[in-house]
Amino acid sequence: MKHAPLPVTPQQWLHQMFTSQAATEGGVVRRKVSDVERLVGRDAFLQVMRNRGFRVVENAGHFVVFCNAEPLHLRL
């Protein structure tokens, strides 16, 4: 019989995200909106991103997080 994995706390989940190679190098991280809402909460997640100065774009059920404080330039 398989057991469900132990749930992670919101703090653990955010720690895993922020310690990823892409995040530590100022790159881009993508997370499913449904995962964010289930594990951390949308408002709390966006507040943490604001506190860090990161930009977040939501599209097609994903959050794309730019793990730096550089300005975004959208090219259409």
Concatenating the DSSP letter of every residue in 23-50 gives HHTT-EEEEEHHHHHHHT-HHHHHHHHH
Does residue 67 carry a pLDDT above 70? yes
Q: What integer pLDDT is reported at residue 7 of this predicted model?
A: 82
Percentage of residues of the chain with pLDDT beyond 70: 92
Rounded mean pLDDT, 5-23: 92
Q: What integer pLDDT is reported at residue 5 of this predicted model?
A: 67
Rounded mean pLDDT, 39-65: 98
The string of pLDDT tens digits covering residues 32-44 is 999 999 999 999 9
CA distance 72 to 55: 8
Rounded mean pLDDT, 6-32: 95
